[in-house]
Amino acid sequence: MFNIHPVRAFKDNYIWVIHNQHYAAIVDPGSASAVLTYLQQQELQPIAILNTHHHHDHTGGNVTLLQAFTMPVYGPANEHIPELTHGLRERDTVHLAELSLDLAVLDIPGHTAGHIAYYGGKSLFCGDTLFACGCGRIFEGTAQQMYTSLQKLASLPDDTLVYCTHEYTLANVCFAKEVEADNPILAQRAIEIEAQRKHDLPTLPSTLAMEKATNPFLRCDQPALINAASRHAGKRLQDPISVFAELRQWKDTF
């Protein structure tokens, strides 16, 4: 058995600490200070750093953590990750023996060219690709790549817990309601998210079932989303990738 704890960093980052009573793995430590404090408070021995992509707000704490502890650093093989010891690609597995946890590696390019996710124990650590009710910006990939990556994640079991790395949910829900105003599940989710944020509570993890019911970027084949994207584009969009690309561009300026 293990717990997954969010350590807050910067304005809206979450650094996920997967731990039992003694050992911890650290997902995307953009900053080291809060992580070190949590490890000390809980008397945890870190056994691994797991990076999903190269952006500094996900890797900036690697060097400092390694000055305090000796442990492997996992991350995408095709990106520059500070202090990387184990470059990973799809079909690789990270075996965390101390946590009795195996994490499968998935290639999910789009946000960055080499972005990866970790999946195991009914938990998905997906960095900046899939967000609660949203998805990441496309910086280094294409709309086709990002759409394919999101579909890959959506194919995981519905009860998968989604641990993304930013508290963007309220803004994402506001956009989703603009796009799909008549979705009753989304309307209820908005009420719950607003209450959580009013009390400064994390809105994560989400579940894939909830994402498939409310996340516009996972619903690009649905008539309501096709119609909304087509209206915004000023022309009829026929295929899900075109709908996705239009929604992503719309969100960029929302």
- The catalytic residue among 19, 54, 57, 115 is 57
Q: Is 225 helix (H, G, I), strand (E, B) or coil?
A: helix
**Where are the strands (E) in 33-129, listed by range?**
45-50, 73-76, 86-88, 93-96, 101-107, 116-120, 123-127
- Is 57 among the residues known to form the active site? yes
Cβ(48)–Cβ(86) below 8 Å = no
- Is 128 among the residues known to form the active site? yes
Cβ(39)–Cβ(68) below 8 Å = no
- Is 166 among the residues known to form the active site? yes
One-letter amino acid identity for 231?
Answer: R
Q: Tokens representing 196?
A: 């959580």
- In whole angstroms, what is the distance from residue 86 CA to residue 78 CA? 11
Crossing angle of helices 240-252 and 169-179, rounded to 10°: 120
- The catalytic residue among 19, 54, 58, 115 is 58
CA 173, 175, 180, 186: dihedral to nearest 10 degrees?
0
- Is 86 among the residues known to form the active site? no
- The catalytic residue among 128, 200, 221, 239 is 128
- The catalytic residue among 19, 54, 111, 115 is 111
- The catalytic residue among 19, 54, 115, 166 is 166
- Is 5 among the residues known to form the active site? no
- Is 115 among the residues known to form the active site? no
One-letter amino acid identity for 163?
Answer: Y
What's the gap between Cα 58 and its chain centre? Answer: 11
- The catalytic residue among 19, 28, 53, 115 is 53
- The catalytic residue among 19, 28, 54, 55 is 55
Q: Is 110 helix (H, G, I), strand (E, B) or coil?
A: coil
Q: Is the peptide bond before 216 cis (omega within 30 degrees of 0)?
A: no
Cβ(19)–Cβ(5) below 8 Å = yes
- Catalytic annotation, residues: 53, 55, 57-58, 111, 128, 166
